[in-house]
Amino acid sequence: MEENEGGQKIDDLLARLGAPSPREDGQQIEDLLASLEIEARSKMAQSLASESPKVTRPRGRPVVIDEELQSKVCLLLSLGLSRRQAASYLDIVHSTIANAMQRDPEFAASVERAEEVSTAAPLVTLALVSRRNWRAAAWLLARHEKREAAAKKKEQP
């Protein structure tokens, strides 16, 4: 009985305020709830549509050489190691470097630059020594002449 009296008091209060009683106008409340649910679903759909599209995972085998490993390969090559030695040091297969070079032209250019640096370092050392040692100077001169002769042959058809 107390619940009925409490419910009756709420009904009286709603009637004084001019609000419909839930017992008298239950359909109106159900309509209100349905409209709120529709509104919530539409907001959810808008938020899902505004999010970035779902990123799918690439198919196939994952790439072994990431940017960090690429820089390590180039460092080892610039120190004078061969591609096989660098691959062995990094615990990867040597063909992985070749495959990565085919896929990534920027990495291929970096590898070529690193290999050129590795050949230039001994020449710089030899040039410094040639100032004190005549044999080193003679070797550099002969090498320079061979290079000039090869360049002339390429220029002539």
* Domain edges within the chain: 67-151
Q: What's residue 17's pLDDT? A: 61
Is the CB of residue 87 less than 8 Å from the CB of residue 93?
yes
Q: Which two tokens stand for residue 2?
A: 């107390």
> Please, what sign has the CA dihedral across residues 73, 79, 81, 82?
positive
Residue-by-residue pLDDT tens, the chain, 157 positions? 444 555 566 666 666 666 555 555 556 666 666 666 777 777 666 666 665 566 677 788 777 888 999 999 999 999 889 999 999 999 999 999 999 999 999 999 999 999 988 888 788 888 888 889 899 888 888 888 888 888 888 787 6
Spell out the residues 6+ positions from residue 100 whose beta carbon is closer than 8 angstroms to its own.
Answer: 63, 64, 65, 70, 107
Distance CA 147, CA 3 (A): 107
pTM, whole model, 2 decimals? 0.50
